[in-house]
């Protein structure tokens, strides 16, 4: 019956499109009405109504903002591997499901007594955004299902490749093409106006049931997914298997599933393996980052050959010039790329040799399928510089700033060569400072792009950080700017207003004090109990910040020098007239071996990201440090621990493996 409903919906929608959009009716009104009534009858009998059914007259809903949703069951990530042997080892324990790892946006749907009552994004796994208004206009979500009780499912919102290409093909000549389907679906699902989402052909692919169907299904994930398919959901391509089969056929299955996804136009970036037994899955537990009952098998990063065209130099907020490689456009992972950062002079020389030139062969990948990166290149060293083709131009380190024209200086810092602009008032530095100020780790002002900042700086609206909070003075002019309008301005201004309440650590990061990044700012904030008054008292007392872990004399001097500069001090006071520093909630510290202990984490961890283990350690009462010293109590060492491990041994620090750490906190 479900398949009949899908077929009728597709057929009737084709007739509707021909009638309303192409003025080319394919059937008579009587024939259409007969099919329409048949669909209504099937929907009534089955209790299944799809979101794109012609029987639904869902209006387009406009939201003023997306509300936050707390996930009752956290939507955690997956541990990752690129090694097929890891997948095989994983499958030894229990029968598994092999599914496509869809490249879209994770979405949770909640049904109560057969009605869709809420849809939300994954967010950070604990707090997401309410997108119910947009989910109702997805192509294939059932709005009603034949199920009484609570059903919570999760899956991926995607845009099929053919739809993505059609959307790009139909853009006007002055509209910029969308980079990839993942970014497009993420933006579409978060639109305030559901009409925009409805025009993007977003689909929902289910891949797990988090709650419900316990009485209807056995203790098997595959049974619950199959039951959902019978209720109208579309599920991921899935293969059930046991270890004995996988030993022989796993490589073949991987290629089959990649081919099937390509044929169906489904965007993927790997495969997922999960245990089929729900009981066994629950026994395995997990971490704050992921559950232990599944793995993401990431495909190897694709490496593509190109030719170097040029090296451009962009200016960082500290005045450092960053080399950026510009090369012949290449397509990797569905997107066209032609630029990759070389970070600094040392990295540039290590990758390209001492004489990079504009005919040089390079090999490029997208690290983790996101960040363009040069892997290697045909190098030209001093001994063979004569081998460079005559028509090629060698690229030199700039002797003047590309923004202000002032001289540059080449210097060495921590064995790394960098080029810096000597002009303290360079306008390029101003742009970088504002980019840093609005960034997520600082004031987190959403919606201010680099190009928007450039426009505002060019018009002289932004000289100092406080000017961000005075942009309402230019409201009428901003609304008339290309790409803006009243709605875009209101969204920007709301984000600016939201940023006015901020924690002390993020505020300190935003100021751009040299060497005061996220870790150092947290240390200061913790020492001052998140209280701006305590911080200012210590500043006025000429406090020696080097007594804090990881704070050497240089960092302490940087803080003092920054606040002793009258220009900085004045801007700091002006900024606080518009900003409220919010003290952190006092959290109950769990009793543990890490209370008031200084802990350093190094190397690659299997069960944690660097942010998640920092959060966990702070929850356990630890002080997380970035470097090893005699004050360090514990070093948690993952793979490729490096020099910190050697230093910890030298100081006699307690060294823990990740598993030992997990055992201590279990």
Query: Beta strand 320-332 with 335-341: parallel, antiparallel or unpaired?
Result: antiparallel
Beta-bridged to residue 372, according to DSSP, are 366
Q: What is the CA radius of gyration of the chain?
A: 28
Contact 267/286 with Cβ under 8 angstroms? Answer: no
Cα(87)–Cα(615) distance, integer angstroms: 29
CA angle 347, 348, 351 (to 5 degrees): 85
Q: Find the helix or strand (DSSP H, E) in which 376 lies.
A: strand 371-377
Alpha-carbon distance 410 to 421, whole Å?
9
Q: Could you tell me where the DSSP H helices lie in 47-127? A: 84-91
Two structure tokens written together for 72: 């009752």
**Unique residue bearing structure tokens 């959009």:** 21
Helix (H) or strand (E) holding 129: strand 127-129
Q: Are the C-beta atoms of 478 and 484 separated by less than 8 Å?
A: yes
List the helix and strand counts (H, then E) for the chain. Answer: 23, 26
The verdict on whether 644 is a catalytic residue reads no
Q: Is residue 285 helix, strand or coil?
A: coil
User: Do 651 and 630 form a contact (C-beta atoms < 8 A)?
Assistant: yes
Sign (positive or negative) of CA dihedral 63, 65, 70, 73: positive
| Cα gap 363→306, rounded to integer Å | 6
CB 519 within 8 Å of CB 624 = yes
Cα separation, 289 vs 296, whole angstroms:
13
CB 100 within 8 A of CB 272: yes
User: CA 266 → CA 168, 230, 236, 260, 474, distances in Å?
Assistant: 17, 21, 10, 8, 45
E strand or H helix at 257: helix 243-264
Distance of alpha carbon 586 from alpha carbon 362, whole angstroms: 52
Given 101, 136, 506, 616, which residue is catalytic? 101
Consecutive H or E run containing 143: strand 142-144
Token pair for residue 8? Answer: 């009728």
For residue 423, the 8-state DSSP code is -
Active site residues per annotation: 101
């Amino acid at each position: 019956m479900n398949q009949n409903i899908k077929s009728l919906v597709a057929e009737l929608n084709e007739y509707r499109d021909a009638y309303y959009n192409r003025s080319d009716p394919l059937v008579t009104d009587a024939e259409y009405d007969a099919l329409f009534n048949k669909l209504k009858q099937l929907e009534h009998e089955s209790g299944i109504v799809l979101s794109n059914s012609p029987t639904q007259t869902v209006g387009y809903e406009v939201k003023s903002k997306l509300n936050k949703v707390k996930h009752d069951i956290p939507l955690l990530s997956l541990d990752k591997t690129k090694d097929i042997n890891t997948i095989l080892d994983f499958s030894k324990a229990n029968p598994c499901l092999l599914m496509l790892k869809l490249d879209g946006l994770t979405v949770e749907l909640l049904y109560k007594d057969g009605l869709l009552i809420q849809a939300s994004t994954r967010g950070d796994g604990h707090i997401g955004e309410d997108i119910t208004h947009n989910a109702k206009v997805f192509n294939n979500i059932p709005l009603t299902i034949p199920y009484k009780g609570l059903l919570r499912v999760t899956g991926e919102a995607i845009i099929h490749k053919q739809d993505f290409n059609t959307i790009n093909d139909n853009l006007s000549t002055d509209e910029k093409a969308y980079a990839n389907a993942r970014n497009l679906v993420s933006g579409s699902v978060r639109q305030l106006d559901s009409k925009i989402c409805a025009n993007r052909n977003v689909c929902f692919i289910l891949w797990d049931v988090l709650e419900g169907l316990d009485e209807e299904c056995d203790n098997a994930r595959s049974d619950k997914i199959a039951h959902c398919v019978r209720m109208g959901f579309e599920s991921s391509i899935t293969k059930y298997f046991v270890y004995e089969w996988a030993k022989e056929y796993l490589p073949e299955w991987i290629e089959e599933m990649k081919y099937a996804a390509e044929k169906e136009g489904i965007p993927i970036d790997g495969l997922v393996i999960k245990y089929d037994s729900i009981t066994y899955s629950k026994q395995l537990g997990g971490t704050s980052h992921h559950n232990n009952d599944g793995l993401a098998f990431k495909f190897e990063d694709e490496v593509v050959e190109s030719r170097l065209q040029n090296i451009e130099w962009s200016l960082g907020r500290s005045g450092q010039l960053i080399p950026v490689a510009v090369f012949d456009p290449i397509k990797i992972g569905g997107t066209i790329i032609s630029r990759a950062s070389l970070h600094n002079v040392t990295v540039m020389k290590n990758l390209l040799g001492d004489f990079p030139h504009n005919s040089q062969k390079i090999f490029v990948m997208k690290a983790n399928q996101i960040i363009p990166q040069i892997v290697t290149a045909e190098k030209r060293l001093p001994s063979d510089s004569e081998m460079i083709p005559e028509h090629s131009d060698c690229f030199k380190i700039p002797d003047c700033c590309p923004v202000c024209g002032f001289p540059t200086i080449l210097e060495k810092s921590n064995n790394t060569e960098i080029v810096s602009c000597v002009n303290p008032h360079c306008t390029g530095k101003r742009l970088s400072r504002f980019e840093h100020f609005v960034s997520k780790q600082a004031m987190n002002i959403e919606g201010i792009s680099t190009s928007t900042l450039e426009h505002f700086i060019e018009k002289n609206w932004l000289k100092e950080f406080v000017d961000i909070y005075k942009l309402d003075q230019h409201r009428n002019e901003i609304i008339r700017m290309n790409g803006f309008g009243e709605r875009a301005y209101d969204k920007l201004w709301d984000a600016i207003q939201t940023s006015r309440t901020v924690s002390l650590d993020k505020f300190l990061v935003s100021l751009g004090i040299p060497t005061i990044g996220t870790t150092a700012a947290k240390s200061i904030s913790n020492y001052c109990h998140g209280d701006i008054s305590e911080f200012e008292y210590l500043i006025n007392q000429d406090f020696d910040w080097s007594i804090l872990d990881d704070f050497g004399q240089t960092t302490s001097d940087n803080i003092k020098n920054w606040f002793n500069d009258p220009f900085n001090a004045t801007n700091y006071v002006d900024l606080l007239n518009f900003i409220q520093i919010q003290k952190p909630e006092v959290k109950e510290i769990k009793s543990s071996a890490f209370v008031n202990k200084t802990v350093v984490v190094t190397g690659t961890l299997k069960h944690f990201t660097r942010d998640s283990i920092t959060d966990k350690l702070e929850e356990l009462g630890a002080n997380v440090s970035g470097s090893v010293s005699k004050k360090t109590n514990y070093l948690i060492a993952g793979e490729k621990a490096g020099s910190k491990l050697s230093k910890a041994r030298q100081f006699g620090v307690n060294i823990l493996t990740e598993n030992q750490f997990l055992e201590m906190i279990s």
